[in-house]
Amino acid sequence: MTVKRKNAVKQDAKEEAVQQQLIKITQPSADTEAAWLKKAGKLHYGYKKHLCTDEAEGMITAIVTTAANESDMRHIADVVDKSKLKKGARVKADKGYASAANRQALKNKGSKDNIMHKAVKNKPLSVWQAKFNQIISRTRYKAERTIGSMKRWFRAATARYLGLAKTHTQHLMEAIAYNFVQVTGIVAKNALRIN
């Protein structure tokens, strides 16, 4: 047996141990529609929230809820459909949505592709792609700010209900509450400009 084969056996044993841990962690009363996701070396159980915000104020226009293990790449079309964007609208998304299929889906819907580029193994970003990402991030931060504010104000990182439908309803209520808070700030700002 070579060293490489021994390492592969050890890796297989580690993977199996992780799977056994997950089985033990999952209780019979646990949410069966939620799923596990490994992010930054840590395991997370639950759902993902995909949302669309407007560019001006960061108001939420659409939300799609999925199990945590589902890839971001599969849901950009769902969010764009729900947000009912005008033809020719620029869709700015982070690197998690970077794929040829998503870029084609946006083109088919008549939207402009402003998805950030993602470096792949042995193929770093070109100078143009890095500059493009920098330009997109100047306005895309509003979506990140929206997510951060929802986590701070409403503890939106925690699912309070079992089941995809109930969790999606929770996400919708958080979005409505966030939009109400934003509207009061916008109205107050505009009232100060008038006076």
> Taking the CA of residue 31 as centre, how many other CA atoms within 13 Å lie in the half-sphere pointing to its CB?
18
What is the pTM assigned to this prediction? 0.73
Q: How far apart are CA 42 and CA 131, in angstroms?
A: 31
For the stretch 103-162, pLDDT in tens is 999 999 899 999 999 988 888 999 999 999 999 888 888 888 888 888 888 888 888 888
Do 17 and 50 reside in the same domain of the chain? no
Residue pLDDT, tens place only, 28-75? 557 888 888 888 888 888 899 999 998 878 889 999 999 988 888 888
Count how many domains the chain has: 2
Name beta bridge partners: 43. Answer: 38
Task: Verify that 65 and 7 share a domain, yes or no.
Answer: no
Same domain as 125, residue 55: yes
- Distance from C-alpha of 74 to C-alpha of 97, rounded to nearest angstrom: 8
Are residues 33 and 164 in contact, defined by beta-carbon separation less than 8 angstroms? yes
| Eight-class DSSP state of 94 | -
Range of the domain at 4: 1-30
Residues 20 and 89 reside in one and the same domain: no
Between CA 94 and CA 190 the distance in angstroms is 31
